[in-house]
Structure 1
Amino acid sequence: MAFNRMESASYLASLLAKSFSRALQERGQKLGFAPGQFPILLELWAEDGLTQKQLLERIDVEQATMANTLARMERDGLIVRRKHPSDRRSQQIFLTDRARDIEAAAKEAAAAAEQSLLSGFRRFEKELMLEYMRMALANSPRGNGAS
């Protein structure tokens, strides 16, 4: 039996993720963030002052990728790191005013990127697709996938 990549959920999910990333790249660039920074920003907008370890637990990326992304975010003025008050080995990561100021626009950019990919979907089709995606993520080795 021949493998048909257009019948492969994992292949299609990968293409969809890349398409979303490109759509968010165009919109996020104007605001000063990259698509790979968006999950970190979402976590910090929800709970500022997380440690790198906490971010790693919440976002499914490699340690080196997280370290590099945080370094770029610090360089770009989106975050600052401060010594953890009770754990000398840890640093807390805080959003800058600049990052807080772009929250609404960044979330709107992500919604617009998603809408561009789901254009033409009826509401129930989008809801079904999201439900199926959540079900597939629940089956993944990491449980519910990235938050």
Structure 2
Amino acid sequence: MNSATYLASQLAKSFSRSLQERSASVGFLPGQFPVLVELWNGDGLTQKDLLDRLDVEQATLANTLSRMERDGLIERKTHPQDKRKQVIRLTDKANSMRDAAITAATAADDALFAGFRTFERELMLEYIRRIIGNAGKV
């Protein structure tokens, strides 16, 4: 198949499966990983902040956050300046799994890039970033 959108969809599924194999023992799901990364980079974001950064549907993020709260990965607190908003903070459990989660994601990447030379991998990542940038212009 020569459709980039079809192949991108298959690549996303492959990454998710590869990450799922490695994330279960750490204690997170592949769909939670982007939220964890954003919060590890700056804890205390609002749901709107996460929506803007992750470019996902409101309902998808709401479901992900509910599951993460249920699983003890996040806590929601009332925003100090705006009582209508909630600040999302990582729990100690989520913070303690950071290194293992990043190791799992790196292993998932490494499995998908098996047989690639370093420059091929870097070039592929640059192409993916460019495609994502172009998609944001559509």
How many Å apart are 1:135 and its aligned residue? 1.3
Name the counterpart of 1:35. 30
Deviations 1:60-88 (Å, cap 9, x if unpaired)? 21101111100000000000000000011
Matched, 1:80 2:75: yes
Equivalent residue of 1:86, what SS? Answer: coil
Deviations 1:3-35 (Å, cap 9, x if unpaired)? xxx211111111111000011111111111000
Alignment of 1:11-90 (within 5 A): 11-90=6-85
Count of aligned pairs between the two proteins: 137
Equivalent residue of 2:72, what SS? Answer: coil
Name the counterpart of 2:2. 7
Structure 1 vs Structure 2: percent identity of aligned residues?
A: 64
Equivalent residue of 2:56, what SS? Answer: coil
Name the counterpart of 1:91. 86
Equivalent residue of 1:30, what SS? Answer: coil
Structure possessing the higher relative contact order (Cα contacts under 8 Å, 6 or more residues apart)? 2
Amino acid paired to 1:74: E
Equivalent residue of 1:14, what SS? Answer: helix
How many Å apart are 1:134 and its aligned residue? 1.2
Name the counterpart of 1:3. none
Q: Distance in 2 between matches of 1:124 and 1:85?
A: 47
Query: Post-superposition, which runs of at least 4 consecutive aligned residues in structure 1 deviate over 4 A?
Result: none
Q: Distance in 2 between matches of 1:62 and 1:38?
A: 16
Q: Distance in 1 between matches of 2:124 and 2:114?
A: 13
Match of 1:112 among 104, 107, 110: 107
Q: 5+ unaligned residues in a row in structure 2: which ranges? A: none
Q: 5+ unaligned residues in a row in structure 1: which ranges? A: 1-5
Report the TM-score, using the length of structure 1 for normalisation: 0.91
Report the TM-score, using the length of structure 2 for normalisation: 0.97
